[in-house]
Each structure stands twice: as structure tokens, then as C-alpha cells.
Chain A
């Protein structure tokens, strides 16, 4: 019999986290890496809300998620600005090309 509880939400969040981690580490498009970060942040948010509902019973998890959403938006804005600059400098969005600082 299928049920819904804390464990199901945590397994789903673990799956989202693993997908985001894979995207972050293997994609070569800088915007793709940003998409991976968003997936990981969503997994963390889902964990927080599920714990807040099923374990803690207070609203603190939801507040933390609210702050994560704000930080994710801010981070995306700065990252896109950096990518625009990167693209203007190197005429590509491939992160492997940006290795001028390599010793």
C-alpha cells in the first residue's frame, strides 16, 4: 500500500539533489550549471518544508525556504550578469574555455 509521509518527500528531494549535482558537475554551458544549482536549492527547500510539516510542527522551515528563494533569485541575477560579461569577453559560454588563470 502506497503512503505519503516524510520519507517519500525526502527520497524525492534526494533524487532532485542528485540530478542537480550531476547537471552542475557535467554540463559545460554556464547557464546549465546555474539550472543545476536551482535544482539543488529546490531539493533543499522541499526537505525543509517536509520536515516543518511532518516533524517540527512550527513554521520555521517555511521561513527558511522563503529566504532560500530570495537568495536564489539574487544569485541567479548576479550569475547571469557574470555570464553576460564572460560571453562578451570570450565569445562563448563554454565554462571550460575560461581557464586563463590556470598556472
Chain B
């Protein structure tokens, strides 16, 4: 068994196990930590897929930024005075059935899909390539993303400000 195969299955087990932990955990902080496991495993899988730049960005922005934001959100909103927020039994039951059926269907289709085997392409120097694509072909979405980030910054600050005293 080659190293790539071994690494893939280890990381896949980590990602899947953490995602399952997210499903099972009722404590919201544990859910956030399980999400960290999934995000890290997916970032390492990006390395396996030779998307190095993307893996680093995933670690920095997702695990370092978004997850911290989520943890702060939990910190601000978690004083619930003893009430436990467990999913209702009926909802959990129906959800399990639907999700299992969906997963079985997806796997059945994926295993039957006639992918003609294509030799994996090795992108050379993908960071430079990504930079050129971003400022060339994808210039308009790139600029739109920056406008979106500005709007989100203003909007989030406006939404989260304390209510004005009348």
C-alpha cells in the first residue's frame, strides 16, 4: 500500500469521524471542536490533491478565522440557564432515515458512474497559476468578492451593535 493511499484513508477516517462527532455531540463547544477536526483533515486532503495554496488558505481562513468567529459566537450566546438544546426525537428519527437514504443513493450513483479513468494532472506551480487566473479570467468575481467583504463588514458591525436607548 503506497503512502498516498494510506494517508488518504487516515485523513478520510479523521474527517468522517469528526463529522460524525458533529452529528452526535449535543454540547455546542464539542461540535465546534469536531468541526475543527473536519476542517483540518480536509485541508490535508487538499495537500494530497496537490492544491497546496488552497490547503493553506483553508487552514488560515477556515480553521483560523471562521472557526474562531463561531467559537466567539458560542461564547456570546451560550448562557441558556440550564436548558438543554437536544434535537426532538421524532425530528432526529426522520432526519436519520432521510439522510441515510440520501447517502445510500449518492453512493450507489457514484459507484455506478462511468468515470473514464483520467491520469491525474500535476499542476505545476499552482500558486502563480491561481494568481494569474484570479487577476485575469476571474477578475470580476474577484472584485465583487472584495465589495461583498466590505458590505459584510459594515452589515455585521451594524447588526451586532447594541440597541440604542430611547
A residues with CB within 8 A of B: 2-12, 14-23, 25-32, 34-36, 38-39, 42, 45-46, 49-50, 52-55, 57, 59-60, 62-63, 65-67, 69-74, 76-88, 92-94
Contacts and interface: CB of A to CB of B under 8 A. Distances in A.
Interface of B: 1, 4-5, 8-9, 12, 15-16, 19-20, 22-23, 28, 31-32, 35, 38-39, 42, 45-46, 48-51, 53-54, 57-58, 61-62, 65-66, 69-70, 72-74, 76-78, 80, 83, 85-88, 91-92, 95-96, 99-100, 102-103, 106-107, 110-111, 113, 115, 117-118, 120-121, 123, 126, 129-130, 133-134, 138, 141, 145, 148-149, 152-153, 155-157, 159-160, 162-163
Contact of B159 (A49, A69, A82): A82
B35 A38 contact: yes
30 contacts: A2-B5, A6-B115, A9-B45, A9-B49, A10-B110, A11-B110, A12-B15, A14-B107, A14-B110, A22-B96, A26-B91, A27-B85, A30-B77, A31-B73, A34-B73, A39-B22, A45-B58, A55-B115, A55-B118, A62-B54, A62-B130, A69-B57, A70-B149, A74-B148, A78-B159, A80-B73, A81-B155, A85-B160, A86-B77, A93-B85
Contacts of A82: 159
A57 B62 CA distance: 25
Contact of A19 (B19, B50, B78, B157): B19
